[in-house]
Amino acid sequence: MKTWKVTSQFRGKIYTHDVFDLKELKGDYVILKEKWLDNFVKSIENKNYQIEKINLLSLVDPEGKEITIQGKFIMYIIFNCLFAEHYLPIRLLMGKLQSGEIIVFAIGPEPFAKAVAEDERILFHPLFSLIEEYKNIEEIVILALPKTIEP
């Protein structure tokens, strides 16, 4: 599977995660209406989650090219979501298009990515659990943004 490398900094430590290219997994990226982001921000404002903000330091695409993230709206969201009767640390790498829509271009971890490759509908459960079904998400959501961006 094609892999993106996401490097972030949290409480003085550097972390690198692999997330898997959604276009390779299901044939295309997922585009969400701008309203999804509005609803996500509202869910944060309603304090349904404990948010841990971390710094997104670098992003490397599957071909090994480092993507410039400063000044771009790129989010890396990590949260524990109920998946196959267990909580799994779902990872979503997302960006905002000029049209205002949100693009989901990589996901993780590997078991989740493989499940989405088999049935793309599986991806929509965590995406919409973030804004609708709070009972399926454990409290902590980690939101990584470039230093120049605020949600």
Q: What is residue 92's predicted lDDT score, i.e. its pLDDT?
A: 92
How would residue 145 be classed by pLDDT, with cut points 50, 70 and 90?
A: low
User: Strands, DSSP E only, in the chain?
Assistant: 3-10, 13-21, 30-32, 50-60, 66-67, 74-83, 86-96, 102-108, 137-145
Number of domains in the chain: 1
Average pLDDT over residues 60-85: 83
Residue 140 confidence (pLDDT): 62
Q: CA separation (Å) from 1 to 15, 17, 20?
A: 21, 14, 6
Q: Is the residue at 150 inside a domain? A: no
Residue 151 lies in a domain: no
Question: 85-144: per-residue pLDDT in tens?
Answer: 778 888 999 988 888 899 999 999 999 999 999 998 889 888 888 887 666 777 666 776
pLDDT-based confidence at residue 151 (cuts at 50, 70, 90): very low
Q: Domain span at residue 112?
A: 3-145
